Amino acid sequence: MHYVIIGNSAAAIGAIKAIRNRDKTGSVTVISDEPYSIYSRPLISYLLAGKVDENMMFYGKKNFYEENSVGTKLSQAAVELDMDKRIVELENKELVSYDKLLIATGGTPIIPQVEGKGLKGVFTFTKWDDAKNIKDFIETNLLKKAIVIGGGLIGLKATEALIELGLKVTVVELADRILSATFDKRASQMVEDNLRERGIEIIFNNTVVQIEAEGSLNKGSWEKKRRVSGVVLRDKRKLASDLVIFAIGVKPNVSLVKNTSVKVNRGILVNQYMQTCVGNVYAAGDVAEAFDLVMGITRPIPIWPNAYRQGSVAGCNMAGGLKEYQGGLAMNSIEICGISTISVGQTDPDEENYQVLQEYNRERREYKKIVLKDDFIVGAIFIGSIERAGIITAFIKERTNVRNFKDYLMREDFGLIYLPSDYRKHMVSGMGIEV
């Protein structure tokens, strides 16, 4: 049996481990357009800021592939699939055959059609090489100002790294607040206040419509030889800048399956076994459209834990198992300029049939919000104090009815002691809690 995995991140890790749990002798090959062993993508902002070195980027041991008897074809993008012949073609024209295929190509940065996007000094920020190239550019040029386009998690982590390197940063956000897809207005405002205290300028309800070069802009092949000098905003304002980072977001990287029989909506459609409509082809991670526990729909949820679990389910089933993916949860745990934050599920619902519990302490810069529907927790926000986030997240994952103890949920000392004895035993034993 030959298992081929296209992609080299969290879903691949989960798949490799699951395959090897069931099949010790089958051949496994990982194909990636990156030159690196599996690494932790959430660490790229720390790499850029100099808070971690390159040896700390790798997932587990650097010899992860060797320990799991995995062959690799790195620095080679997969460019075409022939699903009838079960062949993957690489950009160097090499053909790789497979019996079972996992597509784990992740997400690709969203880059709008903006004049000047090919200039020197314009970057995206999702991969190791992005951080490396930005740092090299900063170190080899006398840079003072940077523009970050996008006020979501990617943009703010890039911003944090840039100010650590001494740059003056302006964030340009199309919405009326930062982190609008993750937080409610109060949580967004708390993070915004902290960023402004650090000297970061934030411009809302605006976007970049042109990136300007030193001198006059030469289009075509000359564009890449000229450096950024600034940007033009939608409201005609011009901002000087030596560096521009697109951090608008990511979209599922489905380009490889466009001319195949694999069905695609926003991402690749899969069933509960992470299997596509082509029987021996699976998909997992940011490229896949799988079940959302809270929303009750299928959609891409581009976060590391979900990708790992999906890869694990896919790998198990590729190797002859029968394991179902129970669903994912939109969850982000991140520190932004010294503030610890966690958001889970639906954090800012519009509908009237939700109950919201919340506490805000301005002096301590702490905020806690729990969103319930029909006595089930469907979302939560924790800013500053995040100690109780784990148990609340477990309630969401397990679809726990909290009617009998919801009056205690906001207590600072809330814990297992407030739960019914039978459920407390269930929690302590670890049953039903996925780690």
DSSP state of 357: E
**Protein fold of 122-246:** FAD/NAD(P)-binding domain (3.50.50)
Q: Sign (positive/negative) of CA torsion 191, 336, 180, 228? A: positive
pLDDT value, residue 63? 84
For the chain, the farthest-separated pair of C-alpha atoms sits apart, in whole angstroms, at 73
pLDDT, residue 433, reads: 42
CA distance 29 to 170: 43
b/e string for 151-169 if b means 16 or more Cβ within 10 A? bbbbbbbbbbbbbbbebbb
Report the first-to-last Cα separation within the chain, whole angstroms: 30
Q: Which two tokens stand for residue 334?
A: 């991140």
**Assigned token pair, 32:** 């990636």
Q: What pLDDT, in 10s, does the model give residues 397-410?
A: 989 899 988 888 88
Task: Name the pTM for this structure.
Answer: 0.90
- Minimal CA–CA distance to 415: which of 398, 390, 435? 390
Structural domain boundaries of the chain? 2-108+258-318, 122-246, 338-428
Residues with pLDDT less than 50, the chain? 217-218, 431-435
Q: Which amino acid appears at position 132 of this protein? A: K
236-276 pLDDT, tens per residue?
A: 999 999 999 999 999 999 999 998 999 999 999 999 999 99
Output the CATH code of domain 338-428: 3.30.390.30
> Per-residue pLDDT tens for 363-393?
999 999 999 999 999 999 999 988 889 889 9
Distance CA 308, CA 13 (A): 7
Asked if 389 contacts 341 with a C-beta cutoff of 8 angstroms, the reply is no
Burial class (CB in 10 A: 0-12, 13-18, 19+), 37: buried
- Per CATH, 2-108+258-318 and 122-246 having the same topology is answered yes
Which architecture does CATH list for 2-108+258-318? 3-Layer(bba) Sandwich (3.50)
